[in-house]
Amino acid sequence: MSSGNLSTMQMEKEARRRKFYQDKIRNRESLKSCGMNLITTVEKTITNHSREAELLKYFNEMLHSIFFLGYIHEYRLHPKDFVSTDEVHRSLSCKFPEPFIMYNSHLPTRTPFSILLEMMEILYETEERIKQELAILLKSMKFPNPLHKEGSKYEQYYTLESTVICVCYSNLDSRKYYGASFCCRKGNAKTILIDLSCLKTWHEYVSHAVMSFHGGASGDGITFPTELKCRAFYRDWKENVYNEKRPCANCKKLFNLPNADPDKVEHPFGNCAETECLSKLLKNDQYMQQKAMIPNHSEEHLEKLRNSTKARLTVQLRKAGIECTDNNFLFYNPCVKQNVTIC
């Protein structure tokens, strides 16, 4: 090999290395600005609202979830990085001291976007208005497009926007349930949040199904009665409206949803909006609870799945700088007031 060839190869290697780090830095900056934007916009939306007192609990939980995601990012972000000035930092940490202290000792049970979606339910009540107002709010925040950039499979921004939301209900009941896909797109944040949801957040059938498919295993899917209606939507960036989309192949396996898209799926089991929304339905709808079926569901089997999830999660969290043992997962609860003060 000539020295000319070698130096070209070295230059290409160096360019690839530089691009790799530039992507990571841009990814971190994107998370930072999206977090900052979300905090400011949501605070403005709920201030002086007639249901402000109730909404503040969600805002508190959202702060914690954003700070946690910042902390576990490979180029760590601290709560202070998500606020624009020292003054804002002082005022926010005075009003909500817990998220500023417990962001790396306690674990979130859902993503900032899932919390936002629940706030939208309180604010706007009907499905049409929730979708409409959510699209307007997201457009106003100018998050970068979360999808893969054209031409590069790997180049994507870390945004806190979930690309898909889902609505489900039983034909026998008028109540609708909402869910969002996982908004943390990079590194191990997504798998950590999915594992945390399996252990703490989701209905046990949903957790069982998701955990059973882990690592390519042929798992146990849930079959719902025919009264279930479930529809997912993605935000069309040009028109700024939510359009319906078919369930993916993973959701077909997990929930036996009809009319699924057979194309191969890149994201892990449990990532989809259907997961959160069907879990809420199962937790609240007695008829669905009684009629839904999942094979091999026993306390022992569930315990086995939980134990391997806990072991995997402990390792992932340690890598992200959070020390937990298998039996010591402390979850953040915004309803429990801690005796902490910052100001």
Q: How far is the CB of 281 from Zn ion (least distance, A)?
A: 16
Structure tokens at 320: 């992200």
- CA gap 312, 148 in Å, rounded: 28
Our finding on whether 168 is near Zn ion (CB under 5 A) is no
Beta bridge partners of 229: 169
Our finding on whether 165 is near Zn ion (CB under 5 A) is no
| Interface segment toward Zn ion; rule CB under 5 A; list 105-113, 132-140, 172-180, 240-248 | 240-248
Our finding on whether 272 is near Zn ion (CB under 5 A) is yes
| Nearest alpha carbon to residue 64 among 315, 328, 335 | 335
| Interface segment toward Zn ion; rule CB under 5 A; list 79-87, 90-98, 146-154, 248-256 | 248-256
Q: Which residue has 């049409």 as its token pair?
A: 128
Our finding on whether 164 is near Zn ion (CB under 5 A) is no
Our finding on whether 230 is near Zn ion (CB under 5 A) is no
Using CB under 5 A, count the residues that bind Zn ion.
Answer: 4
Q: How far is the CB of 181 from Zn ion (least distance, A)?
A: 8
Handedness of CA 202, 206, 212, 216 (dihedral sign): negative
Touching Zn ion, residues 138-157 (CB under 5 A): none
* Nearest CB to Zn ion, comparing residues 263 and 300: 263
Which of 248, 278, 282, 288 binds Zn ion (CB under 5 A)? It is 248
Residue length, the chain? 343
Specify the DSSP element, H or E, that contains 229.
strand 228-236
Q: How far is the CB of 141 from Zn ion (least distance, A)?
A: 25
Q: How many helices (H) and strands (E) does the chain have?
A: 12, 4
Indicate left, alpha or beta for 255 from its phi (over 0: left) and psi (-120 to 50: alpha).
Answer: alpha
Our finding on whether 69 is near Zn ion (CB under 5 A) is no
Which of 192, 194, 251, 317 binds Zn ion (CB under 5 A)? It is 251
Q: What is the DSSP letter of 197?
A: I
Our finding on whether 206 is near Zn ion (CB under 5 A) is no
Binding site for Zn ion (CB under 5 A): 248, 250-251, 272
